Structure 1
C-alpha cells in the first residue's frame, strides 16, 4: 500500500475534536492535573485520589497522552510543562475552570450550520442579559486567560513605577486586570464599570487579594454610562471589541479618549488577526464563537483597530503579542 500520499489521520482527529474537549474538561473536573503534580503518577493512584474508576482514570490518561498534556516514562505519568503551568488548580493562570465550562457548551456548536446560513445567532445569548445566572459560572472561568495579557500590558506601560495613577476598567468582568495591576502598583486605584451582578464577582476577587480598599465599581452598561472627562490615567477595554461592530467600537474608543487625562493610555486586549487574515490560528477559530454568539462581532484585524483608534483621536497605536491574544496600547 502506498502511504506517501495524504492520509485521513488529521481529518479524523478534527472530526472527532469534541473528544479532546470532553477529555480535557473531565480531567479538569476531577483535578487530574493537580493530583499528577502532587505525585499520583499511575492510573490506580489517580483513581484513588480523584475518587473515580480505574478504567476511567486510564481512559483519561490515554487521551491526555495523545493530546500532549501528559508524558509517560516507564509506566509513570507526569504533567507536561504546559499542563503544569496552566492546568494545575491554584496556579496563577489556572485554566481548569475554562476547560470545565467549555465541556458544558459543546451542544451549542450543533447550531453552527444554521448560524452560518443566517449570518448570526439564532437565539438570544445569555451574555445579553445582565441578571443571567450564566455570569456566575462564566466570569470566574474565563478570568485566568487574561493574566498573561494583563502582565504584558503592565510591563509595556511600566505600571510598577507609575505611582498614583487612576485606572478605569470598562466591562472588567472578574476584575482580573485590576487585581493584577493593583498588586504590582501599591499606589494605584481602580474603578470598574460593569453590570451589578458582575461587579459583585469582581469585589469578591479583589477582597480575596486584599485590594478592595483601592477598588470601586460603577454599576451600568458601558454603552450608555458616562465614563467621565479627563478622569483617568489608564483605561482598559479587554475582550469586548470582538463582540461589537465597527461603529460601536469607534464610539466607545472616542468616549474612552475623552475619559483619559492628557497623555493617558488606553489598553485594548483581544484576539486579533493579521491584516490578510492568514493567522494567528486561535483568533481565526474564535471567529466562529462570535458568529454563534454576537450579532455583529468578529475577530478584527490590526488595521481595523488602528483605524478605529485613530478616528477616536489617538495618535500613537502599538501592538504587543500576548498569545493567543494581542495587547493594543493607544495614546
Structure 2
C-alpha cells in the first residue's frame, strides 16, 4: 500500500507559506530591520521608534528570529548578516523596494482564481497610493539590476558598438552599466515620461549625462529613433501578449542598422512551459496584473526575432537569480 503519510504536511506547509511572506512584508513596511541596523534593541525600543504596539512588535520580532532574519540575545534583537545587507535601507544592496512591490501584488494574487475564470487581470480593491507603488517598482527594479549588471554586462560583447537603445529602460540602470563597461558607447533610454525624473537623476549620479539621454514615449505608439547598432530589451516582453511582442521586436529591428545587435533579457520557459518554476509562476503574475502578459519559451522568442529579420540567434550561458536568460541576434 502506498504511504502518503507525509503528503498532508507538505501540502499544508505549502498552503501556509504566505504566513512567512506576510511576516517579511510587515517587517519591511514598518522598517524594523532599518530601525535595528547595527544595534541590539529591546522590543519596546523598536516599537517606540516605529510607533507600534510593544506586545505586537515583540511577537513579530520573535517570528523573524524563527525565520532566521533576526537573532535574539536575552531581551534584545539584532539583525543577521543577510538582514543587515539586504533589508536595511542604508545598505547599497537593499531589496526592500522589490519586497514592497511584491506586497502590493498580494491582493491580486489572493484572487488568482477569479483571473483564471475570467481570463482578465484583477483590479485591486484596496487603494494603494500610486506614487508609492511606482516608487517601489522603479526602485526595486533599479536595485535588482544594480546587483545583476556587474556580472551580466561583461558577458556581452559590444566591441565597436556606439549607439545603444535601452527600450523601456526605466531608471536607466542597464544603460549606465553598459556605458561604464564600454567607454565608446552612448545610450538612449526610451520609456514613459513618468520615469524621466528618476532616470535623469540616476544617470547624473553616475556622471553619465553627456553619454546617456532619455526619450519619452510609449513603445506601442511612438517611434524609437535611431538608427542604433545595439538594442537592449530587458523584461519588456513578459508584460505583453504575443502580437504586441511581435510588433515591439519588429519596431526594434527597424530602429537597428544592418549588422546591429538585438539582446533580449527575459524569464525564459522551457518548451514544455512547465519549468523553470519562477518563469512558470511569473506567467500567473502577469495574468493577475496585465491584460495579456506571460512568460515565453525560448522557441517563441526566437521565432519572433527571426520574423523581424534577426539572424544568428544565440542563447548565452548567463542564468539570472530568477532563471532569466539572454538571447542575442544580428539584424540582416
Assess, with a 3 A threshold, how the Cα gap between structure 1 residues 72 and 179 changes in structure 2: closer, same or farther: farther
Q: TM-score, normalised by structure 1?
A: 0.82
Change (3 A) 1:211 1:16: same
Match of 1:128 in 2: none
Q: Structure 1 residues 13-22 or 293-302, which shifts more?
A: 13-22
Matched, 1:313 2:309: yes
Task: Indicate the residue corresponding to 1:120 in structure 2.
Answer: 120
For residue 149 of structure 2, what is the aligned residue in structure 1? 150
The 3 A distance-change label for structure 1 pair 152 and 305 is farther
Q: Establish whether residue 206 from structure 1 lines up as the match of residue 188 from structure 2.
A: no
| CA–CA separation in structure 1 for the residues paired with 2:181 and 2:172 | 14
Aligned ranges 1:1-331 → 2 under 5 Å: 5-6=5-6, 8-40=8-40, 43=43, 46-47=46-47, 50=50, 52-70=52-70, 79-80=79-80, 82-121=82-121, 123=123, 135-158=134-157, 162=159, 165-229=162-226, 231-314=227-310, 315-319=312-316, 320-331=318-329
Q: Where does structure 2 lack aligned partners over 5 or more consecutive residues? A: none
Q: 1:285 to 1:19 in 2, by over 3 A?
A: same
* Contact 1:233 1:260 (8 Å CA) reproduced: yes
Residue 291 of structure 1: how far off its partner (Å): 0.8
Cα distance change of structure 1 residues 227 and 4 upon mapping to structure 2, 3 Å threshold: closer
Once the two structures are superposed, residues 270-291 of structure 1 have per-residue CA deviations (whole angstroms, 9 ceiling, x without a partner) of 2222222332222222121111
Write the distance in 2 (CA, Å) between the matches of 1:184 and 1:45: 46
Please give the secondary structure, in 1, of the residue aligned with 2:309: coil
Deviation string, structure 1 residues 76-132 (Cα, Å, up to 9, x no partner): 75555544443232444421012223323322234322211111225499xxxxx98
Structure 1 residues 173 and 215: CA distance shift in structure 2, 3 A: same
User: Which protein has greater RCO, CA pairs closer than 8 Å, 6+ apart?
Assistant: 1
- The 8 Å contact of residues 40 and 46 in structure 1, kept in 2 or not, is answered as no
SS at match of 2:116: helix
Structure 2 Cα separation of the partners of residues 302 and 282 of structure 1 = 15
Which string of whole-angstrom CA distances, capped at 9 and with x for unpartnered residues, describes residues 153-193 of structure 1? 3121146xx47722211111122212333344444321111
- TM-score for the superposition, normalised by structure 2: 0.82
Q: Distance in 1 between matches of 2:75 and 2:270?
A: 44
| Deviation (angstroms), 1:212 | 2.4
Deviation (angstroms), 1:241:
0.6
Instruction: Give ranges in structure 1 of 5+ residues lacking alignment.
Output: 126-130
Aligned residues: 321
Report if the CA contact (8 A) 1:167-1:232 is conserved: yes
Distance in 2 (alpha carbons) for counterparts of 1:32 and 1:95: 14
CA distance in 2, matches of 1:72, 1:44: 14
Residues 186-195 or 258-267, more deviating: 258-267
Q: Distance in 2 between matches of 1:77 and 1:67?
A: 13
